[in-house]
């Protein structure tokens, strides 16, 4: 009986070892895919984890994320929101000032972001924040003339325990991915390494908060189709993007899933074509176990016609980490692409005609 128990334990350990290597894609190396004209963005050295481009070409960028188990080049510095005007010939980044008497700048730790523009053209910026390793969603009003953000509200809820990304669907309404079920750092680590697939997606409004999708192995990026009918969810450690149909009562129904040979992070949606642009980690082990001599690579996927029977998936950019480490997000505007990273720099590229 003891020998049988020992054998079971050995087999379980072996299974989890193999499973982890698959989930983290440890053997993946990238084949470089270059673009004709790429430049690192000056002024971004500590991450650009998420970004969103408004229809007028203004890009919001979250920078300075400190995430448990992930590298940070300046762990004692608080995070910030940056602005770039992509209409400029040589755009530069500007740090947006934050006003609001109750907002604590010293603990600002921004993660995923999303915008909502109302009928009066007021732009609201929602920011996932991790002050003191907690999870909140901060609601800001963008003041374009002043180049600043006015803090309006901090949102906390028991169904928002470990928020990674959000997509705004109203001035105080959003879907949010929770990348872990647990809050305790020790339990979160076990949850991830055992592949428990307990993470979930929450719908939030001031009067209604509920889980709308669950059973994910690290739910990560989330976005919505231009017509508002479909929600896209990235499942990082399962290497999948799920398509859900959104209903009038805000519930979600699974429609289809796409599999990839990379860890899919944040999703941007081209408002004109509906194409998905996805920041990816080809080899997840290099993100979670950083080695400067063997840095994490960067990869950007473009997904066209995702609702069709045969979506077209193209590697728009790939690099082995020499230039750009740990890509998390990519978005396009007028033939240009902006690529962000979890803790490194940001890249601004001209797209080739093939893209």
First to last CA, the chain: 61
CB 319 within 8 A of CB 345: no
CB 136 within 8 A of CB 127: no
Q: Is 17 exposed, middle or buried (0-12, 13-18, 19+ CB in 10 A)?
A: exposed
- Length of the chain equals 355
**Cβ neighbours for 164, distance < 8 A, ≥ 6 positions apart:** 111, 112, 128, 176, 177, 178, 179, 219, 220, 221
287 labeled part of a ligand binding site: no
242 is an active site residue: no
113 labeled part of a ligand binding site: yes
Q: Is 242 exposed, middle or buried (0-12, 13-18, 19+ CB in 10 A)?
A: buried
164 labeled part of a ligand binding site: yes
165 labeled part of a ligand binding site: yes
49 labeled part of a ligand binding site: yes
The residue annotated as part of the active site, out of 111, 151, 242, 281, is: 111
Could you list the residues known to form a binding site for Ca(2+), using ranges.
49-50, 113, 164-165, 220, 265-266
Q: Which residues participate in the annotated binding site?
A: 49-50, 113, 164-165, 220, 265-266
- Return the active site residues: 111
């Amino acid at each position: 009986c003891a020998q049988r128990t020992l054998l079971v334990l050995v087999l379980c350990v072996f299974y989890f070892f193999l499973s982890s290597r698959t989930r983290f894609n440890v053997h993946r190396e990238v084949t470089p895919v270059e673009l004709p004209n790429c430049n690192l963005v000056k002024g971004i050295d500590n991450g650009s984890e998420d970004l969103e481009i408004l229809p007028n070409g203004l890009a919001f960028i979250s920078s300075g994320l400190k995430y448990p188990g992930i590298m940070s080049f300046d762990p004692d510095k608080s995070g910030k929101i940056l602005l770039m005007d992509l209409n400029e010939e040589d755009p530069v980044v500007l740090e947006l000032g934050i006003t609001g008497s109750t907002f604590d700048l010293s603990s600002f730790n921004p993660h995923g972001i999303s915008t909502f523009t109302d009928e009066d053209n007021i732009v609201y910026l929602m920011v996932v924040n991790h002050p003191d390793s907690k999870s909140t969603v901060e609601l800001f009003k963008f003041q374009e003339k002043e180049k600043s953000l006015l803090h309006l509200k901090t949102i906390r809820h028991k169904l928002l325990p470990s928020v990674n990304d959000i997509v705004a669907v109203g001035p105080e309404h959003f879907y949010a991915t929770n990348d872990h079920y647990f809050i305790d750092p020790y339990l979160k680590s076990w949850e991830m390494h055992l592949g428990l697939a307990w993470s979930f997606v929450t719908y939030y409004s001031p009067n209604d908060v509920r889980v709308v999708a669950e059973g994910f192995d690290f739910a990560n990026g989330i976005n919505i189709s231009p017509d508002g009918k479909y929600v896209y969810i990235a499942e990082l450690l399962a290497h999948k993007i799920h398509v859900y149909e959104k209903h009038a009562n805000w519930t979600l129904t699974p429609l289809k899933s796409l599999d990839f040979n990379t860890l899919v992070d944040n999703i941007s949606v081209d408002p004109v074509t509906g194409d998905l642009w996805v920041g990816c980690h080809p080899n997840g082990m290099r993100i979670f176990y950083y080695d400067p001599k063997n840095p994490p690579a960067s990869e950007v996927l473009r997904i066209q016609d995702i609702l069709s029977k045969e979506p077209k998936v193209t590697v728009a950019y790939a690099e082995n980490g020499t230039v750009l480490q740990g890509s998390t997000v990519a978005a396009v505007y007028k033939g240009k692409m902006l690529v962000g990273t979890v803790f490194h720099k940001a890249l601004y590229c001209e797209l080739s005609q093939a893209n």
